[in-house]
Chains A and B, each alone.
Chain A
Amino acid sequence: MESVPQKLLGPRPQDYILGAVLVLASVAWLAAPTSAGGGELRARLVHDGRTVGELPLDAPATRSFNFEAGEIAVEVKPGRGIHISETHCPNKICMHEGWIDRPGETIACLPNRFLVEIEGGEREYDAVVN
């Protein structure tokens, strides 16, 4: 059997370069922030700073949660957007906000520390106020 030449068994300088490039590339891949902009319209549901759900606005859906102030439910209707359909907080301010469907629009429920935020698409406004 023909033996492998000895110099091919040991690492060559270019192997170190390749290794370094691979390590740096994988770190970059791990560390690079994911881009949240663009894409189809969706509602991100956030409780106390943590995302608890994402609903695309083009499919009917309901979700309910149990938070600090009791049960709270959201409903998605294609063409209308998303709204808070049920809440047990005292003033129901979040329900009074009605429907939202444009990027950047939000509904907040303070007693539940709950936030619904429309993402994706192009933002027409930097901020939306009533």
Chain B
Amino acid sequence: MKKAAIILIVLAAAAAVYVRREDIFTPKGKLIERSRFTMDTLCTIQAPNVVGASRTRAAINKALDRMSEIGVKFNCTSPDSPLYQFNHYRTPIKDPELVALIKYSLDTSRDTGGANDPTVEPLEDLWGFYTTSKSSGTVPSQAAIRAALAKTGWRKIIVRNGEVTATDKNVCLDLGSIAKGYAIGEAEKVLKAEGIPSALIIGGGQVQAFGHPAPGRNWKVGVRNPRHDGYMASLEFPKEDGISTAGDYERYFIVNGVRYHHIMDPATGYPARGAMSVSVIMPDPTDADALDTSLFVMGPRKAMAYLKKHPAIGYIFVDSKGKIFSSRGNAGS
């Protein structure tokens, strides 16, 4: 009897150790990391083990789930999205979260003189820059660009009484330039609500940091040069902050030595010409995501004038010749 009891106790202890192995064997402070393909990119969340490994992992998964949820809702190429329904069947958008973000995007359009434009979808599609569209690798004809341009225009979108409609039946909405930033902000909210004191959220070219990876250490982000190997900046985030980059180096094709990339100038219907990459450093990830593309479209002169009026915004602006303008001292080629 006694022997059986001892064996049982030992096995129970062994089972308990095995079940709780994650919490027992993950040292405090060790970085826990999870990645997922969502929001049309790879999203990664890192957090040091402060509140227990299984709790940290669960919180990270919950935050990634939230990003996936936004990824579906805001994906204008997915029939499940109210954006798709609006673009294809003119169904008014009533989802409060979407309505709020569309309103935010239109406010940004106004604030940036139309450099931000959530209606450039026909242009992106014509040039073949959607993940789902067939990349033609050729420059569309002038007539085709004019026809696509005629379908764009952020002023044709109306937000009234909690509902989004359009004055033109051809205009389409695509929140691609801000949805990722919004999703990162939402992931941050989830992590904080779950009691995570520190994390780094990475989605494509955007990073958001809060807290510290270890006591006395700051989250550190390397910014690669848009044209050649190596880094042009090394950033430390001693407080809640983030960086978002828009660049011409990922989605592009080259014809006769000219690079045609996915950041469309809503005024011309052609890829914006004034920059190679624009990084914006600011604590609100939705603002950062909206502004990097807008400043890229504005080009160096207008962008610098805008930034002068908004001195709180950190930036690394690489113009079309590769010259770097930065609010940070350590940017270099």
Does any Cβ of B come within 8 Å of A93's Cβ?
yes
Any B CB within 8 A of the CB of A1: no
Partner of A126, one of B22, B42, B129, B221: B221
For window 237-289 of chain B, which residues contact chain A by CB distance below 8 Å?
A: 243, 245, 247, 249-252, 277, 279
Tally A-B pairs: CB < 8 A: 113
> B208 — nearest CB in chain A belongs to which residue?
A127
- Does B17 sit within 8 A of A, measured CB to CB? yes
Q: Is the CB of B10 within 8 A of A125?
A: no
Report A-chain residues with C-beta under 8 Å of the C-beta of B129: 91
Kindly identify which residue among B135, B202, B226, B277 contacts A127, using a CB–CB cutoff of 8 Å: B202
A129-B206 CB under 8 A given contacts A19-B10, A27-B17, A91-B251: yes
Judge if B205 is at the interface, Cβ distance under 8 Å. yes
Cα-based distance from A99 to B229 in the complex (angstroms): 7
Indicate whether A16 sits within 8 Å of B6 (C-beta atoms), given known contacts A33-B26, A124-B222: yes
Residues of B contacting A128 with CB < 8 Å? 221-224
CA distance A106 to B21 in the complex (A): 29
Q: Is the CB of B222 within 8 A of A127?
A: yes
Q: Is B35 an interface residue (CB 8 A)?
A: yes
Query: What's the Cα separation between A82 and B41 when bound, in Å?
Result: 20
Q: A11-B3, A90-B134, A126-B31 are in contact. List 19 more A-B contacts (CB 8 A).
A: A19-B10, A27-B18, A31-B17, A31-B21, A90-B132, A93-B251, A96-B250, A96-B252, A99-B229, A106-B42, A115-B42, A127-B202, A128-B222, A129-B205, A129-B224, A129-B245, A130-B205, A130-B224, A130-B277
Q: What are 23 sample pairs from A and B whose C-beta atoms fall under 8 A apart?
A: A16-B3, A20-B10, A24-B10, A24-B13, A27-B14, A31-B18, A32-B21, A33-B21, A33-B26, A90-B133, A93-B251, A97-B250, A99-B229, A110-B37, A115-B35, A115-B42, A127-B202, A127-B222, A129-B202, A129-B221, A129-B222, A130-B223, A130-B224
Which 3 pairs across A and B sit closest by C-beta, in order of nearness?
A: A31-B21, A125-B222, A108-B42
